[in-house]
Chain A
Amino acid sequence: MNPNNSQFQEFSVYFTSDAWQLINSFLNNIQTKMDRFNITSEEQKTILCGIEEYILEFIENYKDRAKITFVEALELIQEIGSPSEILHSMDLPFDETIKPKIVTPEEESPVDSSTYTKVICRACDWPNEPDSRFCDHCGVRIEESIKGRREFRLPGLPDEIIVFPHISGFLLTYLALIFIGILNIIITYSALNYPNLDYIPELYRKLSDIPPDMIFPAIIFGLIMGYLIERFYSDKLIKYRHDMHLTQFQKYFSLGLVLTLIALWLFFIYVPIRVTRDELTTLFIFLTIVCLIFSIWIYNWNSRKIPSNIPYLTILRHVKGLEEDNFRRILTFNIFGDFGIFLFVLIFWSPIMPWNVVAIPAWIILIISLIILLNGVLLMNYYSWMYINQFIGITNQSSY
């Protein structure tokens, strides 16, 4: 079976467009891997025809007789197994004839094993221990063929799921971070100058009193943060194998963040609710405790005990690497980040503490928690978009 042939393409009517793209991409991934391992066309045909039959029977038995959605396609992929699993089931003769990909000089730079949880073999995709010299599965020397990658495995996912053409991911990231910077400056400045204000909307209305030169530190803050995060993520965290690129990731994250911040901004300025500082303190004490408990609870999750009845989390469960420690860690960071922010606000606003004494530690807490929060938000945001995508069907056909 060739996923691009016309016979197979007839199946597309049974899938929503994004689900079909996912299936296509998954099958292409399998084929690419098989090509890489010089699997004979006869063997490829057997496997791919089998998978085709399975997909067809899945369609025939599909209970609702409606179009198969993105999430259901993910489930189907899960049932079929990842390309690596399929290859491993084939008793391949792993030997010297397996040629790893050509390694560029940049990729050949020594891998700092301490920064990676697993080192994925380039020849067979086997996850090895960071200090392994030879691949446990195919025996290829790590120095020659392996590039260490953080194990965020998204088997079968297409290279691009949603693309917002004409919007630069980098630009949006910087905009988002500048926005955060501006908000921080406003909060600090307002609190310094109007410490007796009782409620948030009034604080924000004092925006006009802020001298224009206060905006520049915010922009610099945004740029520095943007640079650091870009460096941090591109070098350490986002090492999706071939599934998506940093710039795309930034687009999802940044657009979501910008929209959220604008919404918050508008909310605080225009919604005529009066929240006193005492009420706010109570609220934040509550939120801080909830977030702390929640983050500890999640941190102690057994990776096999991830809730299955929440659609949002169900998507994450289908993503292999995230089913393991990464999922738990990211979610913990995310919620612990919230905890940090709430704690900051609590310290900042609570009448029982002299905020000006704790302002510097509070800033430190805020920055650390923002970095931690971004760890989680960045990834969660991506899946949010995937989830939204299946309902509103935003896809960019041209990206395939």
Chain B
Amino acid sequence: MVHSESTREYNSYLGKDLSTLLILSALSTKKSSSTYELIRDIKVKTNNKISLRAGTIYPHMVKLESMGVIYKNIEDTPSRSEGVIRQKSVYSITQKGLEMLKEKKREWNDLQFIINSLMANEM
């Protein structure tokens, strides 16, 4: 059996701006989310077509945090090991982040329009 086109990943299209859009968009739908949950959410919502790499998302999160568009909170969470409480970083989107998301969505729509127009002209 081979992979069908529908299971193809589109990670190669992801630049920093698009990653930001995805992260902010995913965070805007929840009160807070850990990076792990964030990656899983995006993966599930995109039907496994977009899978952000955990190692590459952390520098990005740090940058977004420093820009004030998201903020990090440390939560206590019960561990798999009985009686052990572990600390977990969860992120939430800020008001500034929501504004940035709006702006990024607008940019994305513009880009889509431009690309679609270009494709239509090619035909």
Q: Do B86 and A30 touch (CB < 8 A)?
A: no
B79 contacts the other chain (CB 8 A) = yes
CA distance A91 to B62 in the complex (A): 12
Flag B82-111 by CB within 8 Å of A: 1 or 0 each: 000010110000000000000000000000
A51 and B1 in contact (CB under 8 A), knowing A57-B36, A60-B79, A60-B80?
Answer: no
Flag A212-229 by CB within 8 Å of B: 1 or 0 each: 000000000000000000
Q: Do A89 and B56 touch (CB < 8 A)?
A: yes
Q: Do A306 and B3 touch (CB < 8 A)?
A: yes
Q: Do A65 and B80 touch (CB < 8 A)?
A: yes
- Contact check: which of A80, A301, A307, A308 meets B53 at CB < 8 Å? A80
B54 contacts the other chain (CB 8 A) = yes
- Contact check: which of A50, A62, A304, A307 meets B35 at CB < 8 Å? A50
Chain B residues closer than 8 Å to A308, beta-carbon distance? 1, 3
A95 contacts the other chain (CB 8 A) = no
A54 contacts the other chain (CB 8 A) = yes
Chain A residues closer than 8 Å to B3, beta-carbon distance? 304-308
Q: Do A53 and B55 touch (CB < 8 A)?
A: no
- Size range of the interface on B? 20 to 34
Q: Do B55 and A59 touch (CB < 8 A)?
A: no
Q: Do A79 and B54 touch (CB < 8 A)?
A: yes
Chain A residues closer than 8 Å to B53, beta-carbon distance? 79-81, 85-86, 89
A309 contacts the other chain (CB 8 A) = yes
CA distance A307 to B1 in the complex (A): 5
Q: Do B59 and A90 touch (CB < 8 A)?
A: yes
Chain A residues closer than 8 Å to B37, beta-carbon distance? 57
A51 and B58 in contact (CB under 8 A), knowing A79-B51, A301-B2?
Answer: yes
Chain B residues closer than 8 Å to A88, beta-carbon distance? 56
B61 contacts the other chain (CB 8 A) = yes
B8 contacts the other chain (CB 8 A) = yes
CA distance A60 to B34 in the complex (A): 13
A53 and B59 in contact (CB under 8 A), knowing A79-B53, A80-B53?
Answer: no
B30 contacts the other chain (CB 8 A) = no
- Contact check: which of B34, B39, B58 meets A47 at CB < 8 Å? B58
- Size range of the interface on A? 20 to 34
Q: Do A50 and B61 touch (CB < 8 A)?
A: yes
Chain A residue at minimum C-beta to C-beta distance from B8 = A304
Interface set, chain A 48-91, CB cutoff 8 A to B:
50-51, 53-54, 56-62, 65, 79-83, 85-86, 88-91
A305 and B2 in contact (CB under 8 A), knowing A53-B89, A58-B36, A65-B80?
Answer: yes
Chain A residues closer than 8 Å to B60, beta-carbon distance? 89
Q: Do B88 and A57 touch (CB < 8 A)?
A: yes
Q: Do B2 and A54 touch (CB < 8 A)?
A: no
Nearest Cβ in chain A — how far from B63, in angstroms? 8
Chain A residue at minimum C-beta to C-beta distance from B87 = A53
Chain B residue at minimum C-beta to C-beta distance from A86 = B55
Nearest Cβ in chain A — how far from B15, in angstroms? 11
Nearest Cβ in chain B — how far from A307, in angstroms? 5
CA distance A82 to B54 in the complex (A): 10
A168 contacts the other chain (CB 8 A) = no
Nearest Cβ in chain A — how far from B28, in angstroms? 21
A356 contacts the other chain (CB 8 A) = no
Nearest Cβ in chain B — how far from A92, in angstroms? 10
Residues of B within 8 A of A (CB): 1-3, 8, 34-37, 39, 51, 53-63, 79-80, 86, 88-89
